[in-house]
Amino acid sequence: MLGSVEVQAEGRRIRTGGPKRRTLLAALLLQPDTVVPDERLIDLVWGERPPRGARAQLQGHVHGLRKALGADTIHRSGCGYRAVVPEGATDLGVFERSLALAAADRAADRLDEAARTLRLGLALWTGPALSGVTPALAEHARPALEESRLRAREELYEVELRRGRAASVVAELRTLCADHPTRESLTGLLMSALHRSGRTGEALAAYAALRAVLAEELGTDPGAELRRLHLDLLHANEPGREGDGDREPPRTGRARVRPAELPLAVGRLVGRAAEMGALDRALDADRADGRSTTVFLLTGVAGVGKSALALHWGASVRDRFRDGQVYVDLHGSTPGRKPTPTGDALRQLLRSLGVDPGDLPTDACELAKLFRSVTADQCLLFLLDDADSVEQVAPLLAGGRGSAVLVTSRNDLTGLVAFFGAHPVRLDVLTRESAMELFAGVAGVPAVDAAAVAGIVEECGYLPLSVRLAAATLAVRTLYGDRVRRFARGGTAGAVDLSAGPMPPARDPAVC
C-alpha cells in the first residue's frame, strides 16, 4: 500500500480487480483484524454518491477478493467485514514495525542500527501511498500515511546528525524543505546540518527564507524553538559561545511522551455509522481547505451516546494526529459539582502537553496565550467532554494545522457554530432495530426473544446508555430463554430507573 495497491505472492503479482476492489482491500487492510462497517466501506469505495444496490456490489467485490486471496482472508462480522492477515504481510505493517524498532534503538543510543532500520522502512515506499484507489479513500487515508513517511525521514536525519553525518544529508533536506516550505522542523534540521558542515551563513539564509514564507502565506513567525536555534547560530562565533550552535536539532515530538488520554471506548458502537462518516468527511474537507483547527460539536440528551461516539471516533483516527490525543472532562452536567473553570482546564491541558507545572502562569488569559503557543505547531486531537458553555470552551480552542477539537454537551452551544465554525452533530435516540442490536450484543439474548427485547428497549426510550445498562443487568443475572420475558414484564425498572429521566453518562474515574 506504500505506493500502488497490489498483492504479491512468491514474487508473482495476483490480480485483484479494478480500482473499487483495490479500494475495498486497502480500506480493510488499513484496519487489520478490525470490523469495518458496510456503510463506511461504501463511503470509501463510492464516495458521497453511492449507486443503488451498493451493498450488493460490495458483497460482489468481497466475493471476488476472497476468490483471489483465499476465503479466510476476509470475514463477515456483524454489519461489516474484517481482514485477517499474518503479521508482516503488508508493507505498511512492516514500515510501522520499523519505526518502533528504530525508536527503541534511538532510546538505547544504538544510532547505527536506528539509521539502518529507518532506511529499510523508508525503502518500502515506491510512490504516493494508496495509488490506484478511488478518490474517497485516497483523500481520507493518504495524508496520514504520507505524514508518517515524512516523520520517519525527519527521524532519520536527526539520527544522522547525531552520528556526525551532517554533510551527507544537506542535499536531501534541501529537497524536502522545498517540497514542504512551511514545515519548521525540516528547516531546523537543515539549519543544523548546514552549520555543522561549516555553512552557517547558508543556515541563517534558510531561516530567513522560512520566516518570509510564513509571513506571506500564514501571517505568522517561526516558533520559539526555531528562533532559539537561529539566535544560537547568530552568536556561534562570539567569545565564550563556542558550540551554542551545535545544540540538538529541534525534535519532531517523539522524544516526549505522546499523549494518548482518551478513555477506553465503551463496548461496540451501534447505529452511528452515519455520524462517524460525517465526522470523517468534515475533517477531510477542513484539512483539504487548509483550515488550522476543525471543531466538532456533539449534542444530545443525557445517555444518548455523545461521549461514546466521540471516543470511538477518536480511537478510529488516532494515527491522523501525529502529536497525540488529549482529554479533559469539563463537568458541565455532573450532579453536585460545578463546571470546571477554564483556568483549571487550561492547566490540565498544558500539563498533558508536557509543560512543567512550575512554569504555568496564574492568570487565565496568560494561560490561554501559553496554550496557543504550545499547540501552534502540533497536530492534536482534543476531546472536551461535557461542556457547559461557549465561554468555558472558547479559550480551549487551539492547535496547529490539522488539529481537531471534539466538544460534547447537553446544551446547544450555538455560539461555537456561529463564531468558531464548529460542525454540529446532533445525536438522536437509536432506532428500534439498532437498540435491539445493542441490547442483544450486551445481554447475549437469542433471537427467539425478539419481541421481549423490543419491549425492553422501548421502555428504555431507545437511549443507548439505558439500553446498555438494562442489558448488562440481564447478563449479570444470567436470565435467558423465557426468563427474558419476565424481565421485560417487571425487571426493567430494577435495572434502570427511567422515571427520573435520562441517566448521566458514566465518567472515567481514572481521568483527573
What distance in Å separates the CA atoms of residue 147 and residue 319, rounded to the nearest whole number? 10
**CA pair distance 168, 173, nearest whole angstrom:** 10
Whole-angstrom CA distances from 440 to 35, 77, 193, 268, 462 are: 18, 15, 61, 12, 13
Per the prediction, the chain carries an average pLDDT of 85
Its pTM surpasses 0.85: no
Give residue 446's pLDDT band: very low, low, confident or very high (50, 70, 90): low
Cα–Cα distances in Å, from 395 out to 240, 268, 283, 351, 353?
Answer: 43, 33, 21, 16, 16
pLDDT at position 497 over 80: no
Q: Do domains 1-156 and 273-426 have the same CATH topology?
A: no
Domain ranges of the chain: 1-156, 164-255, 273-426, 432-495
Q: Among candidates 155, 36, 44, 135, which has minimal Cα distance to 95?
A: 155
Q: What pLDDT score does 512 carry?
A: 27
Whose cell is 430494577? That residue is 494
Q: Phi, psi (5° rounding) for residue 327?
A: -125, 140
35 vs 447 pLDDT, higher one: 35
Nearest residue to 193 (alpha-carbon basis) of 228, 160, 231? 160
How far is 70 from 74, CA to CA, in rounded Å? Answer: 8
Res 373 pLDDT > 70: yes
**Residue 237 confidence (pLDDT) above 70:** no
| For range 131-142, the mean pLDDT | 92
- Give the span between the Cα atoms of 279 and 270, in whole angstroms: 16
In this prediction, residue 256 carries a pLDDT of 52
Angle of helix 19-29 relative to helix 38-46, nearest 10 degrees, comes to 130
Are the CB atoms for 43 and 54 separated by under 8 Å? no
The predicted-structure confidence for 23-80, as pLDDT tens digits, reads as follows 999 999 998 888 999 999 999 999 888 999 999 999 999 999 999 999 899 999 888 9
The predicted pLDDT at position 157 comes to: 96
* Residue whose C-alpha cell reads 440528551 in the numeric block: 301
DSSP H helical ranges for 109-183: 111-122, 135-162, 166-179
* Under 8 Å between Cβ of 16 and 25: yes
Superfamily for domain range 273-426: P-loop containing nucleotide triphosphate hydrolases (3.40.50.300)
CATH fold for domain 164-255: 1.25.40
What is the tens place of the pLDDT at every residue in 91-115?
A: 999 999 999 899 888 888 899 999 9
Complete DSSP assignment for 414-463: HHHHHHH--EEEE--PPPHHHHHHHHHHHH---GGGHHHHHHHHHHTTT-
Q: Is 393 exposed, middle or buried (0-12, 13-18, 19+ CB in 10 A)?
A: buried
163 has pLDDT over 90: yes
Give the three cell numbers for residue 122. Answer: 523508508
Contact in structure between 321 and 404 (CB atoms under 8 Å): yes
Q: Tell whether the model's pLDDT for residue 502 goes beyond 80.
A: no
Main-chain dihedrals φ then ψ at residue 382, nearest 5 degrees:
-110, 130
Confidence (pLDDT) at 257: 66
Q: C-alpha dihedral over 398, 404, 408, 412, to 10 degrees?
A: 70
- The residues pairing with 403 across neighbouring beta strands, listed in sequence order, are 293
Q: Which is more confidently placed, 448 or 165?
A: 165
Instruction: Look at residue 503 in the predicted model and tell me its pLDDT.
Output: 40
Domain 1-156, CATH: 1.10.10.10
